């Protein structure tokens, strides 16, 4: 079969990557989707069991830092496009050990850019770099992140992502590589590794464990359903302008404490517990170092230019997410055994 495009999705076994792979495999049967993933603690092929035998899907276990492995994948599969999601993604881990973030997020991205530059000739190509709103820093009570907001990263994670964005732009300006960037707010949904706020709280509520809220719980995040992020990536990849960045978000700001209390109420109902039972598990713990106060996205550009908008309300998306965790106990049991226990102990034991 000759493929219309061969799209290399990096980090396709992770949380967002698996939703992007699923969307692309199902929606574009004439594209070959090559999922390249190192399978770190965050990568899980069980996230993709429903597409693993599709004719247009290939999995390659490799590290984006491995130049020879990338060269081979580009040659073997004649890669025409890239959607780059592979990254170390957790802010708390970046505070404990920044170097892994530099190596994967910065060096890995440059390695991939260089491979695309060396492999691609004059034809039609897209290098879509998936990034975060955290590159813009922290907002006060007012205002929203726009595409023109100055970069002001404050954690090792966001500094590494900001650096990778700069390299992606540098390859566009210097070598003419056809890049696109998306900067998205906090995602939530199925297959989310329970080191992040929402899946961690769902898992702890179910298991009646303390709910560790950092500081006073007043920090604000702008939450977007992961499937809506995947559809935004699809839209930008196909219709976004080369050389441009697009902010993606849900205009859906919540303080952490309000969100945790909402989850408690939702789960009390679903688990048949007394009203207010789970809220008693809320425990305020030592704040995250350098904790950004507020993120909020102005998504006007993607909404007006590309006609994208979120498909569900937060309440709908959150309920379907909670239902997924309640129905997929095997998945959650597996990812919370082994390394996760040591991680959890180290991160929360003396917090």
Contact residues: ligand NAD, CB under 6 A: 10-11, 13-17, 37-40, 42-43, 63-65, 85-89, 104, 108, 130, 132, 161, 184, 186-187, 193
Stretch that binds ligand DAU, among 24-32, 131-139, 145-153, 329-337 (CB under 6 A): 131-139
Stretch that binds ligand DAU, among 207-215, 271-279, 319-327, 328-336 (CB under 6 A): 207-215
Q: How far is CA 285 from CA 187, 193, 214, in A?
A: 23, 21, 5
Binding of residue 56 to ligand DAU (CB under 6 A): no
**Nearest-approach distance from CB 1 to ligand NAD, in angstroms:** 27
Q: Using CB under 6 A, which residues numbered 85 to 124 contact ligand DAU?
A: 89-91
**200, 232, 245, 318: which one contacts ligand DAU (CB under 6 A)?**
200
- Walk across the sheet containing 186-188 and list its strands: 186-188, 220-225, 253-255
Composition of the chain by helix, strand, coil, percent to 5:
45, 20, 35
Angle at 288 between CA 286 and CA 291, to 5 degrees: 130
Nearer to ligand DAU, 56 or 132 (CB): 132
**Nearest-approach distance from CB 190 to ligand NAD, in angstroms:** 12
**Nearest Cα to Cα of residue 186 among 140, 223, 235:** 223
- Rounded to the nearest angstrom, the gap between the alpha carbon of residue 23 and the centroid of all alpha carbons in its chain is 15
Nearer to ligand DAU, 111 or 256 (CB): 256
Q: How far is CA 219 from CA 84, 154, 203, in A?
A: 29, 15, 21
**Nearest-approach distance from CB 260 to ligand NAD, in angstroms:** 17
Report the DSSP pairing between strands 5-10 and 31-37: parallel
In the list ligand DAU, ligand NAD, none, the entry touching 213 (Cβ below 5 to 8 angstroms by class) is ligand DAU
Told to judge if 171 belongs to the known catalytic residues of this protein, a careful annotator would answer no
From the list 134, 228, 253, 292, the catalytic residue is: 134
Told to judge if 63 belongs to the known catalytic residues of this protein, a careful annotator would answer no
**Nearest Cα to Cα of residue 95 among 284, 343, 290:** 290
**Nearest-approach distance from CB 274 to ligand DAU, in angstroms:** 24
What 8-state DSSP symbol labels residue 240? S
3-state secondary structure at position 13:
coil
Burial degree of 286 (CB within 10 A; 0-12, 13-18, 19+) = exposed
Told to judge if 340 belongs to the known catalytic residues of this protein, a careful annotator would answer no
Backbone phi and psi for residue 49, each to the nearest 5 degrees, phi listed first:
-60, -30
Question: x/- contact string, 146-175, with ligand DAU (CB under 6 A)?
Answer: ------------------------------
> Which residues are near ligand DAU by CB under 6 A?
89-91, 132-134, 185-186, 196-197, 200, 212-214, 219, 221, 256, 288, 295
Question: Which residues are marked as active site?
Answer: 133-134, 157
């Amino acid at each position: 079969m000759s493929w219309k495009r061969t799209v290399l999705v990096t980090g396709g076994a992770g949380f967002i990557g698996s939703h992007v792979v699923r969307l692309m495999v199902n929606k574009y049967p004439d594209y070959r989707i090559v999922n390249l993933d190192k399978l770190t603690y965050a990568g899980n092929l069980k996230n993709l069991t429903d597409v693993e035998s599709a004719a247009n899907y290939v999995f390659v276990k490799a590290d984006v830092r491995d130049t020879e492995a990338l060269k081979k994948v580009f040659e073997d599969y004649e890669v025409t496009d890239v959607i780059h999601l592979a990254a170390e993604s957790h802010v708390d881990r970046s505070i404990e050990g920044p170097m892994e973030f530099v190596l994967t997020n910065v060096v890995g991205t440059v390695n991939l850019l260089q491979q695309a530059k060396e492999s691609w000739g004059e034809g039609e190509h897209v290098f879509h770099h998936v990034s975060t709103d955290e590159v813009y820093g922290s907002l006060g009570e007012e205002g929203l992140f726009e595409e023109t907001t100055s970069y002001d990263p404050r954690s090792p994670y966001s500094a590494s992502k900001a650096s990778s964005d700069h390299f992606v732009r540098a390859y566009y300006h210097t070598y003419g590589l056809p890049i696109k960037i998306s900067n998205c707010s906090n995602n939530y949904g199925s297959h989310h590794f329970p080191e992040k706020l929402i899946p961690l709280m769902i898992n702890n509520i179910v298991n009646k464990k303390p709910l560790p809220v950092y500081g006073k719980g007043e920090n604000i995040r702008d939450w977007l359903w992961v499937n809506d992020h995947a559809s935004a990536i699809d839209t930008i990849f196909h219709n976004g302008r080369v050389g441009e960045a697009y902010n993606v978000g849900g205009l859906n700001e919540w303080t952490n404490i309000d969100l945790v209390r909402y989850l408690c109420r939702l789960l009390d109902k679903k688990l048949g517990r007394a009203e207010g039972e789970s809220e008693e598990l809320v425990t305020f713990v030592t704040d995250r170092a350098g904790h950004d106060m507020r993120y909020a996205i102005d998504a006007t550009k993607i909404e007006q230019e590309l006609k994208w908008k979120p498909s569900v309300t937060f309440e709908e998306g959150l309920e379907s997410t909670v239902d997924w965790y309640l129905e997929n106990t095997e998945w959650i049991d597996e990812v919370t055994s082994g390394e996760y226990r040591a991680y959890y102990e180290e991160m929360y034991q003396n917090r």
